[in-house]
């Protein structure tokens, strides 16, 4: 079921739900510049089948959600997540954040702890930059060569026209999935086409990388978190190397860490059942 939710500053956020409203809620927060449909349909249905009310949504400036006028940092995206929980009448939710979405989830738990029942932080960090050429401010390692090389390719030869943009986006997902697991070309081409079809010009998703660069490191703040947390991190992450997940585990007092050999920055769609098992096991523990 799809439903628009109003934010405090008057934007409309697209949301989609799976399962029964009588079940505990799980809010899926996607990474920066990406709309909610990047969460695989299969994963949403599997978690719902395990007895949870699953919500995915488009961040502002992506997909079918509204476009903002001014500058903001990740705290604005965290406030949007809070508006989704409140607007849908969920009371509170288990919050699963991917990459920058994990940083948004951390801020949500800090700013609105009454809304967050537990956290799952997938391929996330307490300190990252939108500009991959800039090292994290707390000394964590920066992106690995595959990500830096992709950024250099885009700078040297920006894509022009829909087909070049599609090819560049698919290449980006290939880098994020990593070379250690099979890449389902047809799946990612279809996903990129769906993402392109649901967006509206002009593309303002770049505002998320600017928001990330405006957000101070969270390391000092998340030491105050008192919420059950599962950190899941790929050992081959080209964007936020494993040390980022290890730092979350070190700083958040009630965190557990699960390393996945071979996983890059984002899990491939055929791993949905594996990710479902990790998430649902954590939810049931809490």
Q: What is the mean pLDDT of residues 206-219?
A: 95
Q: What is the pLDDT of residue 213?
A: 94
DSSP secondary structure letters along the chain = -EEEEE-TTS-EEEEEEES-TTSPEEEEE--TT--GGGS-HHHHHHHHHTT-EEEEEPPTTSTTSPPPSS---HHHHHHHHHHHHHHTT-S-EEEEEETHHHHHHHHHHHH-GGGEEEEEEES--SS--SSTTSPPTTS-----HHHHHHHHHHHHS---HHHHHHHHHHHHHHHHH-TTS---HHHHHHHHHHHHHH--SSP-TTHHHHHHHHSPP-HHHHTT--S-EEEEEETT-SSS-HHHHHHHHHHSTTEEEEEETT--SS--GGGHHHHHHHHHHHHHH-
Query: What digits encode the pLDDT tens for the residues 184-197?
Result: 999 999 999 999 99
Q: What is the pLDDT of residue 133?
A: 85
**Parent domain of 202:** 2-285
Which of 19-23, 155-159, 254-258 is the least confident region?
155-159
**CATH code: domain of residue 15:** 3.40.50.1820
Query: What digits encode the pLDDT tens for the residues 94-149?
Result: 999 999 999 999 999 999 999 999 999 999 999 999 988 888 999 999 999 999 99
Local confidence band at 204 (pLDDT 50, 70, 90 cut-offs): confident
pLDDT at 241 over 90: yes
pLDDT at 281 over 80: yes
> Any residues with CB less than 8 A from the CB of 232 and at least 6 apart, and which?
120, 121, 122, 123, 245, 258, 260, 275, 278
Q: What is the mean pLDDT of residues 148-169?
A: 93
DSSP secondary structure letters along 72-94 = --HHHHHHHHHHHHHHTT-S-EE
Q: What is the pLDDT of residue 224?
A: 97
Q: What is the pLDDT of residue 19?
A: 98
Query: What digits encode the pLDDT tens for the residues 14-63?
Result: 999 999 999 999 999 999 999 999 999 999 999 999 999 999 999 999 99
Which of 15-29, 73-87, 197-211 is the least confident region?
197-211
Domain count, the chain: 1
Q: What is the pLDDT of residue 205?
A: 84
| Average pLDDT over all residues of the chain | 96
CA pseudo-torsion sign 46, 22, 57, 114: negative
Decide if 193 contacts 166 (C-beta within 8 A): yes
Q: What is the pLDDT of residue 187?
A: 97
pLDDT at 92 over 80: yes
Q: What are the residue numbers of the active site?
A: 99, 237, 265
pLDDT at 202 over 90: no
Q: What is the rounded CA–CA span in Å between residue 185 and residue 14?
A: 27
Full-model pTM? 0.97
């Amino acid at each position: 079921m799809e439903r628009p939710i109003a934010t405090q500053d008057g934007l409309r956020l697209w949301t989609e739900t799976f399962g029964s409203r009588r079940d505990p809620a799980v809010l899926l927060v996607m990474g920066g510049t990406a709309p909610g449909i990047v969460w695989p349909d299969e994963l949403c249905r599997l978690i719902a089948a395990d007895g949870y009310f699953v919500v995915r949504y488009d961040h502002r400036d992506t997909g079918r959600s509204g476009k903002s006028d001014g500058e903001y940092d990740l705290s604005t995206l965290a406030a949007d997540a809070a508006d989704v929980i409140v607007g849908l009448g969920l009371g509170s939710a288990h919050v699963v954040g991917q990459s920058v979405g994990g940083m948004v989830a951390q801020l949500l738990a800090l700013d609105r702890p009454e809304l967050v029942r537990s956290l799952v932080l997938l391929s996330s960090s307490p300190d990252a930059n939108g500009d991959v050429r800039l090292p994290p401010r707390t000394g964590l390692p920066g992106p690995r060569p595959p990500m830096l090389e992709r950024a250099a390719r885009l700078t040297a030869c920006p894509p022009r026209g829909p087909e070049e943009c599609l090819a560049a986006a698919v290449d980006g997902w290939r880098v994020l999935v990593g070379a250690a697991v099979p890449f389902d070309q047809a799946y990612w081409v279809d996903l990129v086409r769906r993402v392109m079809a649901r967006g509206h010009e002009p593309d303002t998703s770049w505002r998320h990388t600017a928001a990330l660069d405006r957000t101070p490191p969270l390391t000092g703040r998340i030491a105050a978190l008192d919420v059950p947390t599962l950190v899941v991190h790929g050992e081959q992450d080209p964007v936020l190397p494993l040390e980022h997940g290890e730092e979350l585990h070190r700083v958040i007092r009630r965190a557990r860490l699960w390393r996945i050999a071979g996983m890059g920055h984002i899990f491939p769609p055929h791993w949905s059942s594996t990710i479902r098992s990790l998430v649902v096991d954590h939810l049931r523990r809490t």
